[in-house]
Amino acid sequence: MPRSLRLTDGSYMRRPDIHNLMHYLNAMQCVEVVGFSNIGKSAFMRLLGQSDVWVQELGEAGDKILPVYIDCNLMLDMSDQGFYEIVLRCLRERSPELAELPELTTAYNALVNAASSDFQVPLSFSQGLNAVLQSTQRRLVLLLDEFDEPFTLMDPRVMLNLRALKDRHSNDLAYVVALVKPMGSHVNNGEYRSEFRELFNHRTWHLAPLTRSDVDRVVRSYMGAYEARFIASDFDFIYKWAGGHPCLLESVCRMLDAELENYAPDINEPETHWEIHRQTAKKFRHNSSINYECAKIWEGCSTDEQQALQDFVDGEDEIAADVLAGLYRQHILFRVEGKPQFFCRLLKEYIQRQNSQQQPESTSLWVNVDSGEVLIDGQAIETLTNLEYKLMLLLFHNAEKIIDKYEIVTNVWGDSYINEVDDARIEKLVSRLRQKIEPDPSNPIFLTTVRGRGYRLLLS
């Protein structure tokens, strides 16, 4: 998958994010961009560093802003000197005019050659930045990517110096910092870091996964690059499993593409395509790249957030409001008709596996989510169809609870079928499932009917 958000026609993805951030930046207000692991913060920051994007969004006003992208991972040393050096170096590389600016060159050389404890280091940085601001008619936006370690590990006086420069050039200088977690979440910020953090008060932008339209663009780009033969149902499958997470999208596209090759030439048969999706999904849990990305998201959650996600996967309805609000802000969960839902199925199933246990001895019915098998008294039953398995999983993850017909339609068929699936169709599906799991389908002991309310699955 491309690391760039640029499209071949010159347009770009993440338009809503760009539009909203530029509302602040055009007023020279500082913004912190946060988001969980590999959600695309760096690609977003690099896009913000391209001048024509500003012109497309702001017109003539965008031409008066000079954005400079700075990758803090390229710091030669995690020190004040290392930070100041990368900023001045990126300024010099930003344009021929700045590269030839004598005052900037002098300040850069003095900074590089100064002793690390020398007061000349912050002085040279300030002189270089001041020279840029005085020489250009454009307002300066410094885009500080991968800012987590610099913020927490550098001498806090660096933050104080950045704050002083912003105060001095309030109408001509702004910072955008990209981190995994908001600066305010770091403990023991100290006075100097807190003063820098004040510049970003109430302007934390949580970067969401790519929208469905952007995901479709990414998938089409993959198809063009690798001659993949995806059809409409594949687009739905990819989005359902990967959401808008760029790295998960790449893994799902590659695995589905490889599986499609195994089924040529019957690829366009509906039953064949359903089987391809099922076989691909079974392999996701064993893919190291997918597990790594999900683990990074999981490990980035607080203990309370992890517990809430585990409870949610287990069917608990009561989640602390403040924890749930935080998961919404981070876009790990989002609302569908007022109810929380995972942004992608891969993460949900990863957390299910974190919770997975051996089948308790007291139960007679069990679903092995990893293998996809349904066990009755330890013996695998006849393979379920796609709809049967979806219903089985819904009931299993909500065992002992009543599941109404609305929940069955939305989880088994999908939201778009809510007005198309009638009671008879649901009852027919339930009947087919009973034929496979019940010793006597006419007298069910596992999948029971709660008259007037729905169905309940009993495990023993």
Q: pLDDT value at position 289?
A: 83
The predicted model gives 307-321 an average pLDDT of 86
Q: Report the C-alpha gap between 6 and 68 in whole angstroms.
A: 18
pLDDT at site 336: 87
Residue 300's pLDDT band (cuts 50, 70, 90): confident
> What local confidence, expressed as pLDDT, does residue 67 receive?
97
Q: Alpha-carbon distance 87 to 75, whole Å?
A: 9
Q: What is the mean pLDDT of residues 50-72?
A: 95
Q: Look up residue 102 and give its amino acid.
A: P
Q: How confident is the model at residue 198 (pLDDT cuts 50, 70, 90)?
A: very high
SS (H, E, C) the chain: CCCCCECCCCCECCHHHHHHHHHHHCCCCCEEEECCCCCCHHHHHHHHCCHHHHHHHHHHHHHHEEEEEEEHHHCCCCCHHHHHHHHHHHHHHHCHHHHCCHHHHHHHHHHHHCCCCCCHHHHHHHHHHHHHHHHCCCEEEEEEECCHHHHHHCCCHHHHHHHHHHHHCCCCEEEEEEECCCHHHCCCCHHHHHHHHHHHCCCEEECCCCCHHHHHHHHHHHHHHHCCCCCHHHHHHHHHHHCCCHHHHHHHHHHHHHHHHCCCCCCCCHHHHHHHHHHHHHHHCCCHHHHHHHHHHHHCCCHHHHHHHHHHHCCCCCCCHHHHHHHHHCCCEEEECCEEEECCHHHHHHHHHHHCCCCCCCCCEEEECCCCEEEECCEECCCCCHHHHHHHHHHHCCCCCEECHHHHHHHHHCHHHCCCCCHHHHHHHHHHHHHHHCCCCCCCCCEEEECCCEEEECCC
- Closest CA relative to residue 31, chosen from 196, 167, 201: 201
Mean pLDDT of the chain: 89
Residue 265 is predicted with a pLDDT of 61
| pLDDT of the residue at 190 | 75
Query: The tokens of 36 are what?
Result: 């969980």
Confidence band for 427, pLDDT divided at 50, 70 and 90: very high
Q: 173-179 and 31-34: which strand pairing?
A: parallel
Question: Does residue 403 contact residue 397 with C-beta atoms inside 8 Å?
Answer: no
Pairing of strands 454-457, 402-403: antiparallel
Q: Are 183 and 205 in contact (CB under 8 A)?
A: no
Higher pLDDT, residue 31 or 295: 31
Cα–Cα distance for residue pair 42/35, rounded to 1 Å: 10
261-280 pLDDT tens trace: 877 665 666 667 788 898 89
- Sorting pLDDT into bands at 50, 70 and 90, what band is 389? confident
pLDDT tier at 69 (50, 70, 90 boundaries)? very high
- Greater pLDDT, 394 or 117: 394
Give the percent of the chain with pLDDT over 70.
93
Tens of pLDDT along 375-387?
888 888 888 887 8
Cβ neighbours of residue 160 closer than 8 Å, sequence gap 6 or more = 192, 195, 196
Q: Is 243 left (phi over 0), alpha (psi -120 to 50) or beta?
A: left
Per-residue model confidence (pLDDT) at position 7: 83
If you average pLDDT over residues 436-448, what whole number do you get? 91
> For residue 340, what are its two tokens?
């929380």
Confidence of residue 119 (pLDDT cuts 50, 70, 90): confident
Q: How far is CA 110 from the centre of its chain?
A: 41
At position 99, the amino acid (one-letter code) is: A
Its pTM surpasses 0.85: no
Higher pLDDT, 43 or 288: 43
| Residue 359 reports pLDDT greater than 60 | no
- For the ranges 121-130, 269-278, 415-424, the maximum mean pLDDT occurs at 121-130
Specify the range with the lowest mean pLDDT, choosing from 126-140, 286-300, 362-376, 446-460. Answer: 362-376
Residues 6+ apart with CB under 8 A from 280: 237, 252, 255, 256, 259
Closest CA to 31 of 203, 208, 207, 206: 203
Residues 6+ apart with CB under 8 A from 95: 66
**What integer is the mean pLDDT of 226-246?**
94
Instruction: State residue 341's pLDDT score.
Output: 93
Higher pLDDT, 412 or 195: 195
Check the CA dihedral 276-281-285-291 and report its sign: positive
The pair of structure tokens assigned to 40 is 């695309």
250 has a pLDDT exceeding 90: yes
Per-residue pLDDT band for 361 (boundaries 50, 70, 90) equals: low
Question: Rounded CA gap, 66 and 62, in Å?
Answer: 9
* Distance set, CA 338 to CA 114, 333, 449 (Å): 58, 12, 27
Which tokens sit at 89? 């170096």
Q: How many CA atoms lie within 13 A of 314 on its CB side?
A: 13
- pLDDT value, residue 197: 94
pLDDT cut 90: percent of the chain above it? 58
Model pLDDT for residues 171-190, shown as the tens digit of each residue: 999 999 999 989 988 756 67
pLDDT band at 285 (very low <50, low <70, confident <90, very high): confident
